């Protein structure tokens, strides 16, 4: 039987003095996941960008619940976007976008 | 129960006081309640106390640490005799096998740290682990090289770490994971650090222990030993006076 995909939404803070476009940001995330786990591993994560605010340096990405730790490790391993130094921190994780925004507001 | 997290290896440039303060602030924001910064052996006590006060402002505990890099085992013994009562944490960066063996069996050493850039200088093998298991030393792993190294060097490092973690677990040597960060952008949250530890096959539970309980245990043990009421392990002065 086909298993239901359980998704997880991660709220991220981009810690840098510079601002980045969403393409650059997601490029860095995909790059980090592929570098650590290869193309096969990256394909299992089901990564997608849900929300991105360059000014507030805030992003929400989606992944599959089984690969949350992999994505977390990959995000932690990002030190640069382009040639600008950066750190990405996971603020909150939730199973629905609605609950995630609720958690962030708390 | 809420865990208390510790980062025992922040390495800011001590000449840049702004950077030191920024890193202390960042550690507090990221959820660490205890940090340690390595000082040079002759670092003035008053500046250490000043840093302690800054940490208190940011609601973080602070412990002093010294990183010894001796060339011979005799030099290590001499340094330990001189510094053990001055610093709360003593780490030895083992650059030769003799030093590594001496550090592993000496009960005054808290942390064993190895070079990340040369796999030949990583001396944490079964013999080292056996010596350390009879003493008090823990294996320290810095996260910084996992962030900064790339390509085959990183792959080789991960392979060495995987082997060392397996040996440490087999010999019940506590593992301590520290950031080793020299600026605030290389600092990570405790859970992110634990996630990075999965790269060298350290299980999540053990990784969380390595950034909380194991580090805290070292600090607790040494603070107790440095207290004036300490007599011997398990024995301490409760009350003094003529009628005791």
Decide if B196 touches A, using CB distance below 8 A: yes
Using an 8 Å CB-CB cutoff, list chain A residues near B185.
Answer: 15-16, 79, 85-87
Q: Do A90 and B187 touch (CB under 8 A)?
A: no
Strand order from edge to edge, sheet including B138-142? B5-7, B32-38, B61-68, B89-94, B111-114, B138-142, B175-178
- Residue A38 in tokens: 């290869």
Which tens digit of pLDDT belongs to each residue from B99-137? 999 999 999 999 999 988 777 888 999 999 999 999 999
Any domain includes B244: no
User: How many beta-carbon pairs below 8 A join chains A and B?
Assistant: 45
Say how many domains are in chain B.
1
Residues in chain B: 244
Q: How far apart are CA A48 and CA A30, in angstroms?
A: 10
Task: Report the percent of chain B where pLDDT is more than 90.
Answer: 80
Mean pLDDT along residues B62-79: 94
Q: How far is Cα B231 from Cα B66, in angstroms, rounded to an integer? A: 24
Cβ contacts of B98 within 8 Å, gap of 6 or more: B72, B73
Report the pLDDT value the prediction gives residue B232, as an integer from 0 to 100: 80
Write the pLDDT tens digit of every residue in A6-34. Answer: 999 999 999 999 999 999 999 999 999 99
- How far apart are the C-alpha atoms of A50 and B105, rounded to whole Å? 53
Distance CA B178, CA B188 (A): 10
Distances (CA, A) of B34 to A72, B90, B141: 23, 16, 17
Compare CB distances from B192 to A76, A85, A86 and report the shortest one's residue.
A76
- B24 closest CA partner among B52, B64, B3: B52
A interface mutation test: which of B145, B182, B199 has the most A CBs within 10 A? B199
Contact A73 B189 (CB under 8 A): no
Q: Is residue B14 part of a domain?
A: yes
Residue A60 to residue A10: CA distance in whole angstroms: 5
Question: Which tens digits make up the pLDDT trace of B139-169?
Answer: 999 999 999 999 999 999 999 999 999 999 9
Domain containing B75: what range?
A: 5-236
Whether the per-residue pLDDT at B1 is higher than 80: the answer is: no
Contact B192 A75 (CB under 8 A): yes
If phi > 0 it is left, if psi is from -120 to 50 it is alpha, else beta; for residue B231 that is: alpha
Residue B242 lies in a domain: no
Inform me whether the pLDDT recorded for B236 exceeds 90: no
* Residue A78 · residue A62 · CB < 8 Å: no
- Give the containing element (helix H, strand E) for B158: helix B151-170
Contact list, A90 vs chain B (CB under 8 Å): 189, 191-192
pLDDT tens figures, B16-26: 999 999 999 99
Interface mutation target, options B195, B197, B200, chain A, most CBs of A under 10 Å:
B195
CATH topology of domain A7-100: Alpha-Beta Plaits (3.30.70)
Cβ distance of A89 and B148 shorter than 8 Å = no
Q: How far is CA B228 from the centre of its chain?
A: 23
Residue B41: CATH number of its domain: 3.20.20.140
Per-position DSSP letters for B97-131, written without gaps between them = HHHHHHHHH-TT--EEEE-SS-GGG---SHHHHHH
* Whether B80 contacts chain A with CB within 8 A: no
* Residue spans per domain, chain A: 7-100
- E strand segments, B76-216: 89-94, 111-114, 138-142, 175-178
pLDDT bracket for residue B244 (50, 70, 90) = low
What is the least distance, in Å, from the CA of B220 to any CA of chain A? Answer: 29
> Any idea of the CA torsion for B122, B126, B132, B137, to the nearest 10 degrees?
40
- Cβ distance B192 to A90 less than 8 Å, yes or no, reads yes
ipTM (interface pTM):
0.92
């Amino acid at each position: 039987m086909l298993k239901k995909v359980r998704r997880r939404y991660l709220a991220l803070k981009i810690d840098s003095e510079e601002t980045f476009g969403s393409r650059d940001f997601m490029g860095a995330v995909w790059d980090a996941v592929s570098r650590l786990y290869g193309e096969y591993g990256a394909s299992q994560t089901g990564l997608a960008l849900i929300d991105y605010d360059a000014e507030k340096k805030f992003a929400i990405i989606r992944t599959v619940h089984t690969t949350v730790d992999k994505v977390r490790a990959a995000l932690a391993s990002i030190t640069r976007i382009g040639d600008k130094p950066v750190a990405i921190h996971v603020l909150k994780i939730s199973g629905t976008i609605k609950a995630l925004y609720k958690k962030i507001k708390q | 129960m809420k865990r208390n997290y510790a980062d025992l290896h922040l390495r800011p440039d001590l000449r840049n006081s702004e950077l030191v303060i920024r890193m202390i602030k960042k550690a507090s924001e990221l959820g660490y309640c205890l940090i340690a910064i390595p000082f040079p052996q002759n670092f003035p006590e008053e500046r250490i106390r000043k840093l302690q006060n800054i940490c208190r402002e940011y609601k973080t505990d602070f412990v002093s640490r010294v990183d010894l890099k001796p060339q011979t085992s005799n030099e290590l013994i001499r340094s330990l005799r001189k510094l053990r009562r001055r610093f709360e944490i003593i780490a030895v960066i083992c650059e030769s096998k003799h030093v590594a063996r001496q550090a592993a069996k000496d009960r005054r050493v808290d942390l064993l740290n190895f070079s990340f850039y040369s796999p030949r200088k990583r001396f944490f093998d079964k013999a080292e682990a056996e010596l350390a298991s009879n003493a008090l030393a823990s294996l320290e792993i810095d996260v910084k090289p996992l962030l900064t190294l790339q390509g085959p060097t990183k792959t080789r490092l991960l392979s060495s770490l995987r082997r060392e973690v397996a040996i440490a677990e087999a010999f019940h040597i506590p593992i301590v994971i520290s950031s080793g960060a020299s600026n605030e952008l290389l600092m990570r949250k405790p859970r992110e650090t634990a996630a990075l530890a999965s790269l060298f096959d350290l299980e999540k539970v053990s990784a969380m222990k390595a950034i909380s309980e194991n580090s805290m245990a070292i600090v607790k043990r040494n603070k107790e030993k440095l207290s004036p009421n300490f007599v011997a392990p398990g024995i301490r002065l409760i009350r003094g006076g003529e009628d005791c």
